[in-house]
Amino acid sequence: MTAGQTRHDLLVEPTHDEYVRQCYVSDLRFHLLNDVAGGMKATYEQRLKQQFVDDHGRPPADKREVHELMMRDHYTRTWSSMMRSCQEMMWDSVVPSVERQLPALAEKVRTATSNHSTLRLDPEVEVPYYVKAVDIHCMPGGYHSQADADDVTQAALYDRGVYIYQMGFAGGLADGIGRSVAQFIAQKYPDLKPKKILDIGCTVGHNTGPFCEVFPDADVHAIDCCAGLLKYGHARAESLRLPIHFEQMDARHLDYADNSFDIVFSCILFHETTRDSHRQILEEARRVLKPGGININMELPPNENLDPYAGFQIDWDAYYNNEPYYAASTSTDVVKLMQDVGFQQEQIFEWLIPDYYEADRAQFQEAVLAREHSYTETGRWGEIVRWYGYGAQK
């Protein structure tokens, strides 16, 4: 699953042995998420759920009760231990490739041109405390660490690591979410001809690129608080000939005028931020959004509509994968949150978007045409993945 990553000038080249280890980790992750986790669900349905009913006279009411029940079971604890080990092995399999090529990466970043993309850094921007507080999803050093001004270790680690994590299912550029939501917006709002688009929390620009392709007449901007990610993202975009304007900003304090953008989007951002920052980020997103513009935030689905077992499985990362803000995000009432930042009820939507790479065109079009989107579960890799998003049209 790891052979198909699209090459670009910044992507690290593994040795034979490094590549084999990366393939092993990717295949192990697929096995754990599908085969072993499938057996875990069968254990719940066939044995543990009935034990709970016998003890309490009712089935488990929510994800917390399912969590307590499942984590007493040896099968689940073994799966959980293997998942955590696999996550650490994934990053460990990439580190040697990155460390060996750091001098070359630093030189490429230093000498990157701006023929296609641009880069604007602001040394006054402080990395928010919630970004610095933890090595998110067990990635050594997190997003923000830099040994010196040209250090892009974290970005290179993330670029290769996230592809292994996704097992190749999100496409050669690891842009499955961005491509899915860009195509969805283009088809659902055919009269929307955006002139300016903003990606909030872009990391290295994986999910920004598709907006350049789907909306070629738009100016595409991408912000992040971490300079190393932006430097790498700019050089990567240059290599891929993607016209993206990378800018260093805190998403809670955007340096743009009111009513500047036709589309403001984020991909898997809010579950890596604290709950108190959600409102600040969305207030800023609404402020810079033009009247009639679209704000869409692709995220983990709120647990309120998931069955208790699915909620338990979604929230596993909150307990065991260095994702301390995860559970607060999945328990947020997103409709109320959007109302609190100023959107009206009739402007707010929740979408369930089939993955553009996995779904056939008929399935994708059916989702585009649907008036309402409901969900009780989401796909895993290897099934038809459906990306959840919430937002509003201003």
Categorize the per-residue pLDDT at 174 as very low, low, confident or very high, splitting at 50, 70 and 90: very high
- What whole-number distance in Å separates Cα of residue 18 and Cα of residue 14? 5
Contact 208, 245 (CB under 8 A): no
Nearest to 142 by CA among 224, 206, 79: 224
Q: Is the pLDDT of residue 325 over 80?
A: yes
Per 3-state DSSP, the chain is made up of helix, strand and coil in percentages (nearest 5) of 50, 15, 35
Average pLDDT score over residue span 288-300: 96
- The confidence score (pLDDT) of residue 375 equals 62
Q: Is the pLDDT of residue 380 over 60?
A: no
Nearest to 263 by CA among 289, 287, 245, 244: 289
- The confidence score (pLDDT) of residue 167 equals 87
Contact 236, 159 (CB under 8 A): yes
- The confidence score (pLDDT) of residue 306 equals 84
- CATH number of the domain to which 101 belongs: 3.40.50.150
3-state secondary structure of 252: coil
Give the phi and the psi of residue 272 in degrees, each rounded to 5: -110, 15
Average pLDDT score over residue span 82-110: 97
- The confidence score (pLDDT) of residue 303 equals 83
Categorize the per-residue pLDDT at 304 as very low, low, confident or very high, splitting at 50, 70 and 90: confident
Give the Cβ contact number of residue 115 at 10 Å. Answer: 9
As for how many domains the chain has, the answer is 1
Residue 150 identity (one-letter amino acid): D
- Residue with tokens 């803000």, as numbered in its chain: 325
To the nearest whole percent, how much of the chain has pLDDT over 70? 96
Categorize the per-residue pLDDT at 390 as very low, low, confident or very high, splitting at 50, 70 and 90: very high
Q: Is the pLDDT of residue 279 over 80?
A: yes
To the nearest whole percent, how much of the chain has pLDDT over 90? 88
Q: Which residue has the higher pLDDT, 376 or 212?
A: 212
Instruction: Give pTM, 2 decimals.
Output: 0.95
210: Cα within 13 Å, side-chain hemisphere: 23
Q: What digits encode the pLDDT tens for the residues 3-48?
A: 689 999 999 999 999 999 999 999 999 999 989 999 999 999 999 9
- The confidence score (pLDDT) of residue 305 equals 79
Which residue segment(s) compose the domain that 314 sits in?
1-394
Q: What digits encode the pLDDT tens for the residues 177-220?
A: 999 999 999 999 999 999 999 999 999 999 999 999 999 999 99
